[in-house]
């Protein structure tokens, strides 16, 4: 069991992100196992429980920082804040509501105004049902590629048509799976070689996964190759590529030639 009251002075931002994500994951596993709920009621209960815990931990241990969460009203004070936690308390509610699926996650990321690039300085993606947390504090290196054909992670319910066309052009295999965070982590874990998405996401959907993937040495960008930018007024961040560096140019070139329609 994770200590519910750690000494915040002992946790750097990387460790705090891990601890908070895992604490939320424990709550979600209890809701899933003990609530007796199903379907939408289970989804809603999970969202609410994880949001309540993460909001409380951030207020207690990072009281001077702003927060952007999928499950809370957007406080625009974050736009002038030096530090903003970008969180998704439960990424993959559909998969969460279908025990024993493990392809759902908790996202906790830190954005800092003083940082360069995308501004993300710490992040953790917990997959509680898998018993794993991937993070920027100990990102490791992406394993050597084990497949002969590129593998592209896609939605198990609605893979984009342009990704199917991309796969045909580069002779790639499509690998269906659940939440956005799980798809990005599949590239970190060498279960896939790329995740290419267009058609609607928000900053909380990919901030923590991108932080972890970038720390592991993967390419992360918009589908046209432009940088990902966080803590923007508009929370929409509809498209991204996370892939092994050697595939980036090929994928971006395809999108520039064919678009994403």
Chain segment 209-253, per-residue pLDDT in tens: 999 999 999 999 999 999 999 999 999 999 999 999 999 999 999
Categorize the per-residue pLDDT at 9 as very low, low, confident or very high, splitting at 50, 70 and 90.
low
Distance, in Å, from the CA atom of 56 to the CA atom of 230, rounded to the nearest integer, reads 23
Phi and psi for 219 in degrees, rounded to 5? -80, 135
Find residue 203's DSSP bridge partners.
none
* Mean pLDDT, residues 77-87 taken together: 97
Report the pLDDT value the prediction gives residue 139, as an integer from 0 to 100. 83
- Both tokens assigned to 119: 């501004």
Phi and psi for 151 in degrees, rounded to 5? -115, 130
Report the pLDDT value the prediction gives residue 93, as an integer from 0 to 100. 95
Report the pLDDT value the prediction gives residue 45, as an integer from 0 to 100. 97
Q: Is the pLDDT of residue 46 over 90?
A: yes
Distance, in Å, from the CA atom of 67 to the CA atom of 72, rounded to the nearest integer, reads 9
For residues 237, 238, 243, 249, the Cα torsion angle rounded to the nearest 10 degrees is -100
Q: pLDDT for 160-190, tens place per residue?
A: 789 999 999 999 999 999 899 999 999 999 9
Q: Is the pLDDT of residue 1 over 70?
A: no
pTM of this structure: 0.94
Q: What percent of the chain stands above pLDDT 90? A: 85
Report the pLDDT value the prediction gives residue 207, as an integer from 0 to 100. 98
Q: Is the pLDDT of residue 21 over 60?
A: yes
Q: Rounded to whole angstroms, what are the CA distances from 138 to 69, 134, 143, 167?
A: 24, 8, 14, 32
Q: Is the pLDDT of residue 8 over 80?
A: no
| Contact by Cβ (8 Å): 96, 232 | no
Q: Is the pLDDT of residue 2 over 60?
A: no
More confident: 7 or 38: 38
Q: Is the pLDDT of residue 4 over 70?
A: no
Distance, in Å, from the CA atom of 230 to the CA atom of 207, rounded to the nearest integer, reads 7
CA 214 to the chain's CA centroid? 12
Task: Give the pairing type, strands 83-91 and 105-112.
Answer: antiparallel
* Mean pLDDT, residues 143-163 taken together: 85
Q: Is the pLDDT of residue 110 over 50?
A: yes
Show the beta-strand stretches assigned E in 44-172: 66-69, 83-91, 105-112, 120-127, 132-135, 151-155
- Residues written for the chain: 261
Closest residue by Cα to residue 87 from 72, 59, 108: 108
Mean pLDDT of the chain, nearest integer: 93
Helices (H) and strands (E) in the chain, counts: 7, 10
Distance, in Å, from the CA atom of 169 to the CA atom of 125, rounded to the nearest integer, reads 31
* Mean pLDDT, residues 103-113 taken together: 97
Q: Is the pLDDT of residue 17 over 50?
A: yes
């Amino acid at each position: 069991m994770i200590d519910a009251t750690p000494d915040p002075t002992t946790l750097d931002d990387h460790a705090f992100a891990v601890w908070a994500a895992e604490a939320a994951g424990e709550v979600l596993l209890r809701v899933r196992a003990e609530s007796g709920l199903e379907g939408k009621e289970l989804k809603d209960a999970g969202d609410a429980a994880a949001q309540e815990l993460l909001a409380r931990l951030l207020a207690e241990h990072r009281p001077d920082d702003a927060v952007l969460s999928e499950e809370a009203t957007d406080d625009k004070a974050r736009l002038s804040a030096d530090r903003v936690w970008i969180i998704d308390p439960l990424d993959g509610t559909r998969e969460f509501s279908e025990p024993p699926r493990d392809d759902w996650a908790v996202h906790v990321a830190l954005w800092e105004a003083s940082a360069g690039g995308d501004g993300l300085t710490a992040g953790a993606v917990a997959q509680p049902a898998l018993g794993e947390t991937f993070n920027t504090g100990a990102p490791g290196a992406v394993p050597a590629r084990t497949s002969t054909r590129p593998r592209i992670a896609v939605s198990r319910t609605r893979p984009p048509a342009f990704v199917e066309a991309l796969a045909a052009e580069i002779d790639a295999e499509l690998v269906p799976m659940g939440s956005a965070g799980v798809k990005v982590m599949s590239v970190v874990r060498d279960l896939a070689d790329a995740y290419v998405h267009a058609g609607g996401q928000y900053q909380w959907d990919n901030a923590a996964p991108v932080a972890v993937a970038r720390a592991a040495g993967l390419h992360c960008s918009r589908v046209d190759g432009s940088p990902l930018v966080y803590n923007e007024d508009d929370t929409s961040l509809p498209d991204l590529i996370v892939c092994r560096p050697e595939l980036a140019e090929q994928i971006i070139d395809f999108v520039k030639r064919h678009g994403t329609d």
